[in-house]
Amino acid sequence: MGSIKIIPSGERNREAVSRLVERGFLTPETYAAMPAGERSAHVFVHHPGAAATPQLVELSLDPDIEVQPHAHGADEIIFILEGSISFGARECPAGSSVLIEKDTLYTFRVGPQGVTFLNFRPSGDFNHYSKEEFLARRSAAR
């Protein structure tokens, strides 16, 4: 039987990304590999997701941070609520959405006002793999 899970707007307390490690959502290795700017992000897990349920996470990053190149093993959609991010020369202001297919290596830069965005994934997965891991996986697949 199905269910409805509602997160009231008053419960949107953001926490440091380090709490994702403590709560088992992010591996210590992934957290340790993040640059300081990414580790300073704040996150609110609206819905943690699982193998068969979608995930919704809200992230806030400080201005002018360059997120390191990485990829995920699942498709994701980013919806920008406030501020902006840029993929190369392409700026995505508030109201923009971005679909990133699984196994796509990407990076982005946070705009001068910072950014708050929603990240949707088809299942619970906070981890990602680095550019080096991405290249190793691609070589192994050949």
Domain residue extents for the chain: 14-141
Q: Which residue has the higher pLDDT, 105 or 18?
A: 105
Average pLDDT over residues 92-107: 96
For residues 33, 37, 79, 121, the Cα torsion angle rounded to the nearest 10 degrees is: 20
Residue 21 has pLDDT above 90, yes or no: no
State the pLDDT at residue 82.
Answer: 97
Residue 70 has pLDDT above 70, yes or no: yes
* DSSP code per residue over the chain: --------GGG---EETHHHHHTTSS-HHHHHHS-HHHHT-EEEEEE--BTTB-EEEEEEE-TT-EEEEEE-SS-EEEEEEEEEEEETTEEEETT-EEEE-TT--EEEEEEEEEEEEEEEESS-----EEHHHHHHHHHHH-
Whole-structure pTM value: 0.87
To the nearest whole percent, how much of the chain has pLDDT over 70? 96
Tell me the pLDDT band of 12, cut-offs 50, 70 and 90. Answer: low
Residue 69 has pLDDT above 80, yes or no: yes
Average pLDDT over residues 99-124: 94
Q: Which residue has the higher pLDDT, 142 or 13?
A: 142
State the pLDDT at residue 27.
Answer: 81
Tell me the pLDDT band of 58, cut-offs 50, 70 and 90. Answer: very high
- Give 25's contacts (C-beta < 8 A, 6+ positions apart): 45, 48, 124, 126
Give CATH for domain 14-141.
2.60.120.10
